[in-house]
Amino acid sequence: MIIAPSILSADFSRLGSEIEMVNSSAAGLFHLDIMDGMFVPNISYGFPVMEAIKKIAAKPLDVHLMVMDPDRYLERFRDAGASWISVHYEACTHLHRSIQLLKKLEVKAGVALNPHTPVHLLEDILDDLDFVLIMSVNPGFGGQRFIERSLEKVRRLKSMILERNAKTLIEVDGGVDTGNAPLLKQAGVDILVAGNTVFRSADPVKTISDLAVCQEAPGTVK
Ligand code: DX5
Ligand code: ZN
């Protein structure tokens, strides 16, 4: 399981040491949430912060764009250091064009789905995607409760991928913890995003390892 700690939950007053912690851990990616205050009711951070992270990050940056009409900024995000970029299905009128642009920019191309968007809407584009990001909370904020129905969505997406013999990876984002990680793995998830679970942990490096092996923390309430 690849773990992508979500920097949104980090302590920004000591961002450098939070990045070093992730560098020293079993995490595979840095997850960066970009919010425009239009697509989602929140504003996060932008290029200057991302470029600062890129300078010291020892792992690839996975950039989740919660932005309307993201085509306007894709090249800038690539230039700022993104290796993986996901755009929202709900924010792209011409999704095929957005995905082709990501491919041209030679980054891993992903589509994120809000909780209400069914996976079958990806039927005609799945073969072009390096990954699909299933939102297991409504996007906009860290620390929300996992929507249980997301497990069923992952299972359906996994069978679509297997039917096509595609290489598309499945990423899940929102409310992930050491209690639901084993269930998500079983359902077919490849990448787990975790914000609060990692950054509010007393031992974040161990929590990242526990998530990576999908080991349930003692006393986890389901
Ligand atoms: C929510 C973001 C998530 C968020 C996850 O809109 O896309 O990446 O930071 O945070 P947790 O793991 O705390 O739900
Ligand atoms: Zn995210």
State both tokens at 188: 């077919």
Confirm whether 221 is domain-assigned.
Answer: no
177 among known catalytic residues: no
Does the beta carbon of 196 lie inside 6 Å of ligand 1? yes
Confirm whether 217 is domain-assigned.
Answer: no
Does the beta carbon of 209 lie inside 6 Å of ligand 1? no
State both tokens at 214: 């999908």
Q: Which of 9, 44, 63 to mutate to test the pocket of ligand 1 (most atoms within 8 A of CB)?
A: 9
124 among known catalytic residues: no
Confirm whether 156 is domain-assigned.
Answer: yes
Contact 65, 173 (CB under 8 A): no
Nearest ligand to the CA atom of 42:
1
pTM of the model as a whole: 0.96
Whether residue 220 is predicted with pLDDT greater than 90 in this model: the reply is no
d(CA 90, CA 106): 23
User: How many domains are contained in the chain?
Assistant: 1
For residue 64, give its domain range.
2-212
Instruction: List, for residues 20-55, the tens digit of each pLDDT value.
Output: 999 999 999 999 999 999 999 999 999 999 999 999
Confirm whether 204 is domain-assigned.
Answer: yes
**Helix (H) or strand (E) segment spanning residue 6:** none
Contact 72, 93 (CB under 8 A): no
- CATH code of 51's domain: 3.20.20.70
Contact 213, 183 (CB under 8 A): no
What are the E-state strand segments in 136-214?
169-173, 191-194
DSSP code per residue over 157-168: HHHHHHHHT---
Catalytic residue (one of 62, 130, 173, 177): 173
pLDDT for position 215: 72
Does the beta carbon of 193 lie inside 6 Å of ligand 1? yes
Instruction: List, for residues 75-134, the tens digit of each pLDDT value.
Output: 999 999 999 999 999 999 999 999 999 999 999 999 999 999 999 999 999 999 999 999
